[in-house]
């Protein structure tokens, strides 16, 4: 089992509701680009900044929305280049826009998020693996 450390990324109030923001977090001895999304509801999600379909680090520039999946409305982000739609909770691609990923399996990596004392804390692995 991999343990993780909570890393402060920013204040919640630094994030504009329904807009993305890019940040850097430590990850297994290197630095990883992430995209943070604060929804109007106050929920915050963190996913990889790398768009698996275009290969560009642009996910923070995606369009935030929602989609009905199996009768449940889920928060989403649409990639800004080829418009694939991803579930912000799981990173799953809900709409491939009839293209194939060029990087990885087409699923966005997600990081656990905690809000404490007005700060956004991201759980990063202490050693190897994903959080």
pLDDT tens across 17-50, in order?
A: 999 999 999 987 889 999 999 999 999 999 999 9
Query: Which pTM does this prediction carry?
Result: 0.92
**pLDDT band at 127; cut points 50, 70, 90:** low
36: which residues sit within 8 A by CB, 6+ positions away? Answer: 9, 10, 15, 20, 21, 22, 23, 44, 45, 46, 60, 120
- Rounded to whole angstroms, the Cα distance separating 91 from 35 reads 12
First to last CA, the chain: 10
- Rounded to whole angstroms, the Cα distance separating 130 from 67 reads 27
What class has domain 4-123? mainly beta
Is the confidence at residue 103, as pLDDT, over 70? yes
Cβ atoms of 85 and 100 closer than 8 Å? no
Q: Could you tell me the residue ranges of all domains in the chain? A: 4-123
What pLDDT is stored for residue 131 in this prediction? 52
């Amino acid at each position: 089992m991999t343990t993780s450390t909570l890393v402060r990324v920013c204040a919640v109030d630094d994030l504009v509701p329904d807009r993305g923001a890019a940040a850097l977090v430590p990850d297994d001895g290197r630095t990883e680009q992430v995209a943070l999304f604060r929804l109007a509801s106050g929920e915050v999600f963190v996913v990889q900044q790398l768009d698996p379909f275009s290969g560009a680090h642009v996910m923070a520039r995606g369009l935030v929305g929602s989609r009905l999946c199996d009768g449940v409305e889920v928060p989403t982000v649409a990639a800004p280049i080829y418009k694939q739609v991803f579930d912000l909770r799981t990173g799953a691609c809900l709409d491939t826009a009839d293209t194939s990923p060029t990087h990885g399996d087409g699923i966005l990596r997600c990081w656990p998020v905690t809000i404490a004392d007005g700060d956004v804390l991201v759980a990063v692995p202490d050693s190897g693996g994903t959080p």
